[in-house]
Structure 1
């Protein structure tokens, strides 16, 4: 009868018949009463969301100190009821160093191979990390997440916390991954982890790794399997394209992925970001509507609504929904950035700074909050503080072209034109290292460099850069005006007049261009050669 009851309880748990499982497990404990029977009853209670009852059962039978998995189940109950201090107390918050070397070797089950499942010690470390993070001790949480992966690299949730919460800089992520001990046949896992890490500075390496994951297994390859059509690999490729500035290709991949799996929430922020960059307001509206219907308690739903309102430039509504997303999950990075950007779009620097500073505190491995703070200081003409934050962003991510563009703009504002030219050239070099040609989103950087070269009186090179900018954005009125002004400075007033006319054709209310056109026409009329031409015509 005991064996029959055990089998029935396990079958009910498999079929999610929680009430039946709890009923039968209770009788099993009365009849059998072994440690495993009590543990099985507690599992049934946990799956039936009777967390306090499960915890009481484990404590009453004195199981917490008999085996790590009993302690783990008790801690999971405490996690569900948000009693984090007690959770750490049950788990034992041992000393763990910054490299994640796990101190409690007795918890590691040497027989828990990957055929059997994740090592229980890795799960214990993960839960300690979650408790520390909930208590806002992110430094210690990171140490426990590292420990979890050192015990068992298959514990993906620990890696997800490190990457999604930007706990490490790009360089530290690479160093940590290289220190993990993967089995010989786990190269696919190592490659996938590398592809999910930060992308800047690793574009060529990532292309190679993604190609290896998507390739059919070769005779001498140790990847072991092909993940060509795997959704997570497709999401990695989309993320890779997003960081290259190829928003259309990124959007196409994420849209295809979401047609296969409409609720693949992992790639949803990426899809929404690409749609926002491309101005796809209808797509944003439909995604937001569906997400709110299905996941109203998830931050991604309200983030999508915020993206829609941001796209149609209703920034008051956008920041309201970004704020709601951060309230639901304070560790949802995209919403904090969107929250700050919505304030910045309306020149509300203090509120934008508050959002960016919170993001910088929560996501210390990400350079974007520091960069955004620097941009706000630059906009309000606080150049010294702007430089500090730009250099901080550069230290975290030394390969983002946008950082060098902002450094160039700051140097230009300081009238350090040679320094500005150096930073802007560096930005364009980094852009061209990641892709074969420039895209429209980098047109402002090209224009910035052209302005700088004009200030340095390198007129032929400045003209070349303006022409390159016009190739990227043919209807750039200010670029036509600047190009005309450069020709004007060289004394080529006839060419300058043509460009001023083109600029005014695109933007008739441009006062500067109108004034310069008048000046150029006056100079052209006063030229000696003009008088001779006029006499010849008569």
Structure 2
């Protein structure tokens, strides 16, 4: 029997690794049968011979519980069940017993868990829970309890509890007593030689349970509790990258809290590579620079021999740093480099889409959005990309439709809420825009952008006092100076009549963000003109035109500046260029008529002098 069991377990593991779940169910079922029969149990399980799990739908195979409104539908010895109001069947009596009095040995436990895992993979959730329940796994194995909770997500908190269980506390207490400075080679050899039973949970299992609790709270829109459990997951096992990435990507913490979190993680001496990768995910979010990242990666290669320069996470961090510095061409190049290797890289795609929007690369954005919607029709990111395309081509009604669809698929997707707000703001629907931005602010605690955009809406409706409050809140919440925030502070100062202070903000914005920010150049030129510094105004307007050569308002403003300088011929030339772009601009038409009248008046005066 031992040889047969060993062969069955080998076949089960091989089938699970190859995702041949029908085969895995077949062999795992036979392994469980052999052991329960040897223990004297009259086995009646949820699996029936070679036909185990012949279908994956509800009621597809013998013994499945039919959940579409029926009470139990039990034919093959299922434990007593109760039906929820939604028609979902939940195994009752979760303080489980061992099957037919048989002893739950580590080998049997692993076989039962493999069988339940195959059921879970084929969406036969009730069968998986029943299998674990009748073999007494839920009281003895944290791994089993986690799997059962994943099967019944709606009842997951009842399954794993809202607080740390005694089992989890015991695991963490044992971990604290362990010596983590064991020889690395010995650790590796032990990991290869010893296969830990499912009955022996480790810190990673506790972290997985914490992540599950956090996900349940996210579904309940209780983000504070979700953040707490994600932090508990990292406290249990700081190798739980899933918890860390959710905290960072969903911006559940403020910038200072994120920085403190990374600093608090107890990385070992030989895990400098992991610390660098964690910090790379936070790169530029708390003031670090691209130079800092490159220096850390280079030092890691020189001192530890770990070369990560071409790793996609590092390249994405570099692309993010370039995007934050408004070096959009570099950001696009680096994002393309990642997507060439992995076309659906989860961290690179949002950055790539945002960069294409900024550069108005509509054709490439259309292709990527179409590919995402085709490959991942249930993904919020796919419909966010479609919304970004329509926003870029200025079809704001359709953009709003697809941003709304993205938020319906993932209500925690902050970028989609911002896009939703933009689609209202561009059409001067200020109330709806601010409602979307406030939702994004609630979801993205670590981002200053929602407050900035709310402030911009208040500027647009003329409420400068509230605008200043929100923009200053955005300024205080970003560790590194954001040129867009400085630009808005300059706009508010100019609106309040503090032209010198406004000029200072605009100049700081250019200093931080480089000379590629066309709106800042335009605003700075306007302030210089009002301060009678016409030479500087002409220079900044000219730089603005170099970046956006088809902007009629810039031609008009430049022409008006030349009018103030007394160079009417040059002013008239720029007014004509402006009308060539936008013929129906009444302001430019009026200024052109004034300039022509002034020229006519000067010509008459010159003629009179000559005649006299």
TM-score, L = length of structure 1 = 0.86
- Contact kept, 8 Å, 1:447 with 1:479, in 2: the verdict is yes
Q: Distance in 2 between matches of 1:109 and 1:40?
A: 26
Of 266, 289, 312, 1:231 maps to 312
Of 112, 127, 133, 1:38 maps to 112
Of 93, 97, 100, 2:162 maps to 93
SS at match of 2:373: helix
Q: Distance in 1 between matches of 2:255 and 2:299?
A: 26
Of 527, 545, 558, 1:483 maps to 558
Who is 1:184 aligned against? 269
Q: Distance in 2 between matches of 1:329 and 1:516?
A: 51
Of 458, 475, 489, 1:377 maps to 458
Q: Distance in 2 between matches of 1:495 and 1:13?
A: 77
Distance 1:356 1:461, change over 3 A: same
Q: Distance in 1 between matches of 2:565 and 2:222?
A: 61
Of 292, 300, 305, 1:208 maps to 292
Who is 2:322 aligned against? 241
The correspondence of residues 114-125 of structure 1 with structure 2, limited to 5 A, is: 116=191, 119-125=204-210
Structure 1 runs (4+) greater than 6 angstroms displaced: 111-114
Who is 2:92 aligned against? none
Who is 1:452 aligned against? 527
Residues 25-54 of structure 1 show CA distances to partners (whole Å, capped at 9, x for unaligned) of 233223325333333332232233222222
Who is 1:435 aligned against? none
Residue 85 (structure 2) pairs with residue 3 (structure 1): no
The correspondence of residues 382-461 of structure 1 with structure 2, limited to 5 A, is: 382-398=463-479, 399-432=481-514, 438-439=515-516, 442-461=517-536
Residues 149-198 of structure 1 show CA distances to partners (whole Å, capped at 9, x for unaligned) of 23322211001111111112323222221111111122222122212225
- Contact kept, 8 Å, 1:525 with 1:531, in 2: the verdict is no
Residues 260-308 of structure 1 show CA distances to partners (whole Å, capped at 9, x for unaligned) of 2223233112222222222222212222222222111111221222222
Residues 106-132 of structure 1 show CA distances to partners (whole Å, capped at 9, x for unaligned) of 346637988559722222222222222
Q: Distance in 2 between matches of 1:465 and 1:293?
A: 45
Q: Distance in 2 between matches of 1:409 and 1:57?
A: 66
- Contact kept, 8 Å, 2:455 with 2:470, in 1: the verdict is yes
Runs of at least 5 residues in structure 1 that lack an aligned partner in the other structure? 97-101, 433-437
Who is 1:360 aligned against? 441
Q: Distance in 1 between matches of 2:578 and 2:595?
A: 14
SS at match of 1:352: helix
Who is 2:53 aligned against? none
Q: Distance in 2 between matches of 1:6 and 1:494?
A: 90
Deviation at 1:527, TM superposition (A): 5.8
Q: Distance in 2 between matches of 1:12 and 1:137?
A: 39
Q: Distance in 1 between matches of 2:447 and 2:562?
A: 43
SS at match of 1:229: coil
SS at match of 1:168: coil
The correspondence of residues 65-104 of structure 1 with structure 2, limited to 5 A, is: 65-79=139-153, 83=154, 86-94=155-163, 104=169
Who is 1:217 aligned against? 301
Give the length in aligned residue pairs.
516
What is the RMSD computed on CA atoms of the aligned residues? 3.1
Q: Which range moved further: 289-298 or 103-112?
A: 103-112
Distance 1:201 1:465, change over 3 A: farther
Who is 1:469 aligned against? 544
Residue 379 (structure 2) pairs with residue 298 (structure 1): yes
- Contact kept, 8 Å, 1:18 with 1:48, in 2: the verdict is yes
- Contact kept, 8 Å, 2:283 with 2:321, in 1: the verdict is no
Q: Distance in 2 between matches of 1:103 and 1:109?
A: 10
Who is 1:99 aligned against? none
Residue 106 (structure 2) pairs with residue 106 (structure 1): no
SS at match of 2:7: helix
Who is 1:61 aligned against? 135
Q: Distance in 1 between matches of 2:269 and 2:604?
A: 81
Q: Distance in 1 between matches of 2:522 and 2:328?
A: 21
Who is 2:99 aligned against? none
Deviation at 1:498, TM superposition (A): 5.4
Q: Distance in 1 between matches of 2:398 and 2:548?
A: 31
Distance 1:474 1:20, change over 3 A: closer
SS at match of 2:344: coil
Q: Which range moved further: 153-162 or 373-382?
A: 373-382
Residue 22 (structure 2) pairs with residue 19 (structure 1): yes
TM-score, L = length of structure 2 = 0.76
Deviation at 1:7, TM superposition (A): 2.5
- Contact kept, 8 Å, 1:5 with 1:28, in 2: the verdict is yes
Distance 1:142 1:351, change over 3 A: same
- Contact kept, 8 Å, 1:118 with 1:155, in 2: the verdict is no
Who is 2:121 aligned against? 47
- Contact kept, 8 Å, 1:109 with 1:120, in 2: the verdict is no
Q: Which range moved further: 453-462 or 124-133?
A: 453-462
The correspondence of residues 133-152 of structure 1 with structure 2, limited to 5 A, is: 133-152=218-237
Who is 2:86 aligned against? none
- Contact kept, 8 Å, 2:272 with 2:300, in 1: the verdict is no
SS at match of 1:262: coil
- Contact kept, 8 Å, 1:407 with 1:420, in 2: the verdict is yes
Q: Distance in 1 between matches of 2:555 and 2:446?
A: 41
Deviation at 1:202, TM superposition (A): 2.7
SS at match of 2:139: coil
